[in-house]
Chain A
Amino acid sequence: MITENLPALQVVLPLLGAPLCLLLGRGRGAWLLTTLIAWIGLAISLTLAWLVKDGEVIRYAFGDWPAPWGIELVVDRLSAYVLLMVSLIAALVIPYARRSVEREIPPEQQTLVFTLLLLCLAGLLGMTITGDAFNLFVLLEVSSLSTYALISLGKDRRALTAAYQYLIMGTIGATFFIIGVGLLYMMTGTLNMADLAQRIDPLEHSRTLRTAFAFITVGLALKLAMFPLHLWLPNAYTFAPSVVTAFLAATATKVALYAMIRFIYTVFGGGFSFTAMHLEWLLLPFAAAGVLIASVAAVFQQDVKRLLAYSSVAQIGYMMLGLGMASLTGLTASLLHIFNHAMMKGALFLALGAIIYRIGSSDLDELAGIARQMPLTMAAFVIGGLSLIGVPLTVGFLSKWYLILAAMERGWWPLVVLVLISSLIAVVYIWRVVESAYFRERPSGALVVSEAPISLLAPTWILVLANLYFGIDSSLTTGFGGAAARTLFGAG
């Protein structure tokens, strides 16, 4: 009974939890409820992943209305993989959130943070699990609207303009996406993704179909912050509260990328996307430019949060690079990096959040010498940074290894060089933080602080250890990612 309804519960629990959270009001109740829901969500994702690990596909007709009329939830290996990533990050970030939110948000707004986090989580999980194109739009907007509000809770007044800018760009992206879906509906009369895929096949030469493809790709590219549509991202990540930044950086853009992969491979089909539309000629140049330019921009940042935000834009470039290679290895690299980047950026932003918790700033100069007072937190940051660079034994190495393999398979040597160069640039910007934190004296008159509390350290270190664990034993990530990529190629 419960097992049958797991796909629905995955989305419905956080969605129902959000208003309950608001009713619980001030105090710890809201946080406890949110933590409970996040952990139950993780258990559900693990169960779902277990159920589909051999390639079964769970199709759940919402409200018993059979597809293609009703809304269908679909759990296959790809969606189970992304669900697992999102729920894992939520289950770690939310326990961390209590102390950090107490420090950064005024008491009367603290309940709102948890309510909005749950709404955002529901939207992201829903986007991943749904098998209906219009439903995806609605859940995309559920997650985006809560994200705009979350960003605006930042202390600095620039958080407001960042949230506003993101609202405008995000809404344009989402509206482009529904224009595309509308055009598809016009051609096929269906919104169910599996049904769409079948009916699109004979329409390959229709101009409306091509227009729909263009609108959907550009709309989602805005949401996932593909260079040069990333302009909303650095400000949003810099001025949002630390917890929100960690959660968004690890999940939101990746789920939008997942939606894009779904449309490219499952709905339109790899053949149409790459052979007829030559999507690679859009993705590759922008991805390559993004990797390079955003990495260089990261080097020149004074604020560590903004530095990591630019590095996120570069990392999204890696994912697009893998996608743009249109090969099995490339897609595997891309899927692998979705999961791995969530772990490394999650760890880095959580470690940074712990520093902000103590010293109230993420400015590079104010971080000077902090490693002597917060050794464990900085050690976590360093390992996260090594993973970002791609040092062996960390997950970052694996993603880059697959990416380089994919480029060599195609014989695209300039891309191999590009990945290596951008990794070297990552060394430079991570080193700037390390240099400041380890090799400089504390500024005179700076607060003497102690190590971050355990409730901040524990989630950070769990993610750091996950970086190392999955870097050594990658059977789960490569197994799931690889299998999902093969399924997409088999279907496309």
Chain B
Amino acid sequence: MELLGKFNYWVIFILMMIGFYVVIARGNLVTKIIGLNVFQTSVFLLYISMGKVAGGTAPILHVEGAVYSNPLPHVLILTAIVVGVATTALGLALAVRIKDAYGTVEEDEIYAKDKRA
């Protein structure tokens, strides 16, 4: 029961490892970016789920005696999402430029072309 009670962390770390694996194992530059996104999203979930209090609501000051969830991690993650979007945009833009320059987004083909040059 102890282990299942923390199922949110199980989900987060499984997602994290899936994302990390895709980044390392895949040779396609676009797939790598998707893996990176999954990896980052799992961290967002880590922050958000730690702020949750069972039965807690949004922190609105007027409601008397209510239980609040911690809003700070949510705010932090808004910032992190913006950073994540910027990273994804830049990564994909680079992939487009690489496609223009090399004619492919497969890592092994790019290395082969660089070696020949």
Distance in angstroms between the alpha carbons of A137 and B84 in the assembled complex: 12
Against B, the Cβ 8 Å flags (1 = close, 0 = not) of A153-165 are 0000110110110
Q: Which B36-53 residues have C-beta < 8 A from chain A?
A: 36, 39-40, 43, 46-47, 50
Does A164 contact B73, Cβ atoms closer than 8 Å? no
Whether B46 lies near A179 (C-beta < 8 A) is: yes
Is A438 close to B, CB under 8 A?
Answer: no
Contact at B43–A160, with CB atoms within 8 Å?
no
In angstroms, Cα B43 to Cα A141, docked, is: 15
Q: Which chain B positions have C-beta within 8 A of A149?
A: 90
> In whole Å, how far is A481's beta carbon from the nearest beta carbon of chain B?
32
Interchain CB contact under 8 A, A164 and B98: yes
Identity of the chain B residue whose Cβ is nearest the Cβ of A172 in the assembled complex: B23
Contact A145 B97 (CB under 8 A): no
Q: Is the CB of B91 within 8 A of A164?
A: yes
B97 contacts A141, C-beta separation under 8 Å: no
| Contact indicator A168/B43 (Cβ below 8 Å) | no
B101 within 8 A of A: yes
CB–CB A164/B29 < 8 A: yes
State in angstroms the CA–CA spacing of A13 and B93 once bound together. Answer: 28
Contact of B94 among A138, A160, A182, A191 (CB under 8 A): A160
A157 to B110, CA, bound (A): 11
Which A residues between 167 and 205 are near B, CB-CB below 8 angstroms?
Answer: 167-168, 171-172, 175, 178-179, 182, 185-186, 191
Q: Is A253 interfacial (CB-CB < 8 Å)?
A: no
Q: Check A152 for interface membership: any CB of B closer than 8 A.
A: yes
Whether the pair A164, B95 counts as a contact (CB closer than 8 A) is yes
- In the complex, A178 Cα to B97 Cα: how many Å? 29
Please classify how large the interface on chain A is, using the bins under 10, 10 to 19, 20 to 34, 35 or more.
20 to 34
Q: What per-residue 1/0 map shows which CB atoms of A230-265 lie under 8 Å from chain B?
A: 000000000000000000000000000000000000
Give A396-433 as 1s and 0s: 1 = Cβ < 8 Å from B's Cβ atoms. 00000000000000000000000000000000000000
**Within 8 Å CB of A185, what residues of B?**
47, 50, 73
When distances are taken between beta carbons in the complex, the residues of chain B under 8 Å from A167 are 87, 90-91, 94
Give B74-92 interface residues, CB cut-off 8 Å to A.
Answer: 76, 79-80, 83, 86-87, 90-91
Chain B residue nearest in CB terms to A149: B90
Interface assignment of A148: CB less than 8 Å from any CB of chain B: yes
Q: Which residues of A contact B20 (CB under 8 A)?
A: 172
B97 shortest CB reach to chain A, Å: 5
A349 at the interface (CB under 8 A from B): no
Question: Does the CB pair B83–A161 fall under 8 Å?
Answer: no
Q: Does A339 contact B (CB under 8 A)?
A: no
Known: A149-B90, A160-B98. 18 other contacts (CB 8 A): A137-B80, A141-B87, A145-B83, A145-B86, A145-B87, A148-B94, A152-B97, A164-B29, A164-B94, A164-B95, A168-B23, A168-B36, A168-B91, A171-B36, A179-B46, A182-B47, A185-B47, A185-B73
Sampled A-B contacts (20; CB under 8 Å): A134-B76, A134-B79, A145-B90, A148-B94, A160-B94, A160-B98, A161-B98, A161-B110, A164-B91, A167-B87, A167-B94, A168-B23, A168-B32, A168-B36, A171-B91, A175-B43, A178-B43, A178-B80, A182-B50, A186-B50
Q: Which 10 A-B pairs have the closest CB atoms?
A: A157-B101, A141-B83, A164-B94, A160-B98, A186-B50, A160-B97, A182-B47, A171-B87, A167-B91, A182-B46
